[in-house]
Chains A and B, each alone.
Chain A
Amino acid sequence: MKKRKLIHWDYLLALAISVLLAFAIGAVILAVSGHHPGTAYLAMFQGAFSNARHFGDVLEYAMVLCLCGLACVLGARVGIFNVGGEGQLLLGAIAAAQVGVWLSGVTAWVTIPLAALAAIATGALYALIPGVLKVKVKVNEVITTIMLNTIAASLCQYLAKGPWNSASKTIVAGTEQLSAQHWFGGLIPGSSLSTAIFAAAIMAFLIWYVMQKTSKGFEMKLTGQNPRFARFSGIKTDRLVITCMAISGAICGLVGMFRVYGAEHMYKSSVSNDYYFEGLMVAMIAQYQPVPVMLLSLFFAVLKIGAQGMELSAGVPNQIYLIIQTIIIFCMAAQSGISASLRAKTGKRKASAAEGGKDNG
């Protein structure tokens, strides 16, 4: 067996080319829509690094992307695509927020664990629906999770506007603000960065450890790559897939709680704005490998927060970030496609040359 390389140079080269190309295409789009690409990119850079507050936001967003990306990786490893993280995140967020409202007078030692439990339970249960349907009934999980996203978003909107709306009605769709004793401590004043990032780091480490270093992780890989073989070798694949899906949902639910207790201090729609999908994109670019997900999360968080700063300072819509991110995916796909077809061609040529050699000899 080949020894595993620590750094995959092919992948890094492809990634670097893709990023450069994406920025070049992004520059063309900026120029065509009447913005100066140089000014825009400079504003983007400044938006992420100009002061500590922005950098705190970058770290907080990197945490969100990383956990969402890892949640996706966890599913992808066993062959189930959790596209429903957005719904699990929102439901986890609103459940945690409401627990905080109910227990507003109670000490943080009771409230925080219960809120986390609520977020984990709602996220996991909501992920179980598509998980069980996929394993037991063989319903395509992509469709069910997307439908469940829309349903969860509507449900949260209903709860935040109606039964769980703040009594003061200061916000149209939002729950009561949490009592300040329950907020996660802020690390950089003015930014959304909170102590939640330490919990997130521990979670990320655990996920990496289980996936890469334990026999369970190996079973997961086997289940994803060759489920029949995995079943024959005695792995309970159905149970493993459902468990992974539930854990993936639980992680998403916890991200929701982190957003509520660390950054927003109440449930409102800005808790997540398709953040899970951006994490999903990161997981795809990282080819579903945990360590690249962590590193790329930081890179894309810089881009995202930078793009938001750019919108304020240079008036460029921040969606250029989504465009650049997806172009990176397309470029990576194109490169692997082209190199595969080149390999096939040279392989054929070699084979025919060998055959020709035989004929001559």
Chain B
Amino acid sequence: MGEILKSIFSVGTLNQMLRSATPVALAAIGGSMTEHAGIMNIGMDGMILMGAFFGALGSYLFGSAAAGLAMVLLMGILVGLFFALFVVKLHSDEFIIGCALNTFALGLTTYLSRSIFGSAGTKGNPALPKLHLPLLDKIPIVGEVLNNHSIFVYLTLIFVIIMWLYVYKTPQGFWLRASGEKPETLRTAGISPEKMKWIASILCGIFCALAGAHLSLGQLNGTFAENMVNSRGYIAFACVIFAAANPAKAYLAALMFGFFDAIGLRLQKHVSPELTGMIPYIITIVMMVYVVVRSQKKKRTKAQQKA
């Protein structure tokens, strides 16, 4: 037992936590945008998968991670546009389009991966650099936790701050929130809520694609395997809901997912990996219930105070 506890509460767990949390956090930043714009986006899983595949493909075709990343950005924008075309322009059912997008991404990436790489997928393509800050080495534990990560682990923190400022401190962010909450009021003010929804979809496409790029080009050093996203898009969606679409809170929620994922990985030495693999998913359900119950309680007390 002591050994198990020691392996759970270790520097390695925290290090792994950051790594596991990053793709979920990136997708959750994107999901926060569409959530603010009033779009229920369950298609994030497919968006991440597209990013992961086209990142690996770009890196494979052009022999450089930068080219892979460029392809990821392009795909992210395209997928965002595609999603918005249906959900915003054509008023299609968000649930159907999201589900179809996920299945389409699974079909397309598996088909292309098998056509191009064969059934085993691809690995060992040029990957994104890892960052090593000699300065951090001097601080004992913090250095070990924070150093030597793929570059997106650090970029995600910057993205969180930028997008938090964008949503809550800029006029456009205000319009974005209004486009979901009070679209008609926004229209009276002379700003098209549809335009804000298009922007939100494109931003979501980009961030989800980056999350995929982090998986294939960052975390796994240029690997693509079929269905490698493994429901992370849905976990990101859950994080968005915990956080009420606040990017900073969504990042914290993703960190918590990362923490339980890391614990699961640590416990694999002692318990079967199938059982430990369930932990983050169970925690996600428990958290969903907790958040909903708490928000209902808040509403009820507010109503009582008014009465």
B99 close to A284 (CB less than 8 A): yes
Dominant secondary structure of chain B at its interface with chain A: helix
Are A142 and B103 in contact (CB-based, < 8 A)?
no
Point out which of B100, B230, B231 has the most chain A C-beta atoms below 10 A from its C-beta. B100
**B104 on the interface (CB 8 Å rule)?**
yes
Q: Which residues of B contact A277 (CB under 8 A)?
A: 99, 103
Q: Is the CB of A33 within 8 A of B104?
A: no
Let me know if B278 and A151 touch, CB within 8 A.
yes
Q: Which of B86, B91, B285, B292 has the most CB of A within 10 A?
A: B285
Assembly CA distance A330 to B98 (angstroms) = 11
CB-CB under 8 A for A326 and B89, given A34-B115, A139-B289, A161-B272: no
Bound: A83/B86 CA distance, A: 21
Residues of B close to A81: CB separation below 8 A: 95
Q: From residue B43, how far is it (CB to closest CB) to chain A in Å?
A: 11
Q: Which of these binds chain A: B159-167, B194-202, B204-212, B233-241?
A: B233-241
Q: How far is the CA of A133 from the CA of B293 in the complex (A)?
A: 10
B292 lies within 8 A of A158 (CB): no
Chain B residue numbers with a CB within 8 Å of A50 are: none
Shortest CB–CB separation between residue A345 and chain B, in angstroms? Answer: 14
User: Which residues on the A side are within 8 Å of B275 (C-beta)?
Assistant: 154-155, 158
Contact with B along A126-159 (1 / 0, CB 8 A): 0000000100011110111011111100110110
Interface contact A321-B281, CB-CB below 8 Å: no
Task: Determine whether the beta carbon of B111 is less than 8 Å from that of A33.
Answer: yes
B184 lies within 8 A of chain A by Cβ: no
Whether A337 touches B92, Cβ cut-off 8 Å, given contacts A138-B292, A281-B103, A329-B100, is yes
Given contacts A137-B293, A147-B234, contact A162 B112 (CB under 8 A): no
Interface residues of A in 313-351 (CB under 8 A from B): 317, 319-323, 325-327, 329-330, 333-334, 336-338, 340-341
A222 interfacial contact with B, CB 8 Å: no
- Interface digits, A208-250 against B, CB 8 Å rule (1 contact, 0 not)? 0000000000000000000000000000000000000000000
Contacts of B104 in A (CB 8 A): 322-323, 326-327, 330
Q: How far is the CA of A329 from the CA of B93 in the complex (A)?
A: 11
Residue contact B95 to A150, C-beta cutoff 8 Å: no
Query: Is B179 an interface residue, CB under 8 A from the partner?
Result: no
Contacts of B90 in A (CB 8 A): 333-334, 336-338, 341
* Residue of B115, B230, B288 touching A143 (CB-CB under 8 A): B288
B296 within 8 A of A: yes
Q: Give Cα A31 to B124, complex, Å.
A: 28
Q: Which of B166-180 touch A at CB < 8 Å?
A: none
**Would B103 and A155 count as touching, CB distance under 8 A?**
no
Residue of B110, B234, B241 most packed against chain A (CB within 10 A): B234
Tally of A-B Cβ pairs under 8 angstroms: 137
Among B93, B100, B110, B274, the residue within 8 A (CB) of A319 is B110
Contacts of A162 in B (CB 8 A): 272
Q: Is the CB of B288 within 8 A of A139?
A: yes
- Which B residues are CB-close (under 8 A) to A155? 274-275, 278
User: Could you tell me the distance between the alpha carbons of A133 and B114 in the complex, rounded to whole angstroms?
Assistant: 40
Q: Which residue of A lies closest to B111 (CB)?
A: A319
On whether the beta carbons of A323 and B292 are closer than 8 Å, the reply is no
Interface residue? B108 (CB, 8 A): yes
State whether the Cβ of A17 lies closer than 8 Å to any Cβ in chain B: no
Flag whether B61 is at the interface (Cβ < 8 A): no
- A131 to B: closest C-beta gap in Å: 13
A143 close to B284 (CB less than 8 A) = yes
When each residue 210-236 of chain B gets 1 if its CB lies under 8 Å from chain A and 0 otherwise, what string results?
Answer: 000000000000000000001100110
A146 touches B91 (CB 8 A): no
Nearest Cβ on chain A to B106's Cβ, whole angstroms: 6
Are A333 and B92 in contact, with the CB atoms below 8 A? yes
Which of A35, A133, A137, A284 makes the CB contact (< 8 A) with B96? A284
Contacts A143-B241, A155-B278, A323-B111 given; does A133 touch B100 at CB 8 Å:
no
Say yes or no: A333 contacts B93, CB within 8 Å: yes
Query: Would A317 and B91 be within 8 Å (CB), given that A137-B292, A142-B42, A151-B278 are in contact?
Result: no
B67 interface residue (CB < 8 Å to A): no
Q: How far is the CB of A3 from chain B (nearest CB, A)?
A: 27
- For B101, give the chain A residue with the smallest CB separation: A326
Cβ-based interface call for B107 (8 A): yes
Residue B97 interfacial (CB < 8 Å)? yes
| Residue B155, interface by CB 8 Å | no
Q: Write the nearest CB–CB distance from B90 to chain A, whole angstroms.
A: 3
Residues on B with C-beta less than 8 A from A323 are 104, 107-108, 111
Q: Check: B4 CB closer than 8 A to any chain A CB.
A: no
Residue of B230, B241, B281 with most chain A CB atoms under a 10 A cut-off: B281
B70 at interface, CB cutoff 8 A = no
- B296 cross-chain contacts in A, Cβ below 8 A: 137-138
Q: A139-B289, A140-B288, A147-B234 are in contact. List 16 more A-B contacts (CB 8 A).
A: A34-B115, A139-B292, A140-B241, A144-B285, A147-B281, A147-B284, A150-B281, A151-B278, A154-B281, A277-B99, A319-B110, A325-B107, A333-B93, A333-B100, A337-B92, A341-B90
* Smallest CB-CB A-B distances: 9 pairs: A337-B90, A322-B107, A158-B274, A326-B104, A319-B111, A317-B114, A333-B92, A329-B100, A33-B115
In the assembled complex, 23 residue pairs joining A and B whose CB atoms fall closer than 8 Å, in A order, are A29-B108, A33-B112, A137-B296, A143-B284, A143-B288, A147-B281, A148-B285, A149-B231, A154-B281, A157-B274, A162-B272, A319-B107, A319-B108, A319-B110, A322-B108, A322-B110, A323-B107, A330-B86, A330-B97, A333-B97, A336-B92, A337-B86, A337-B89
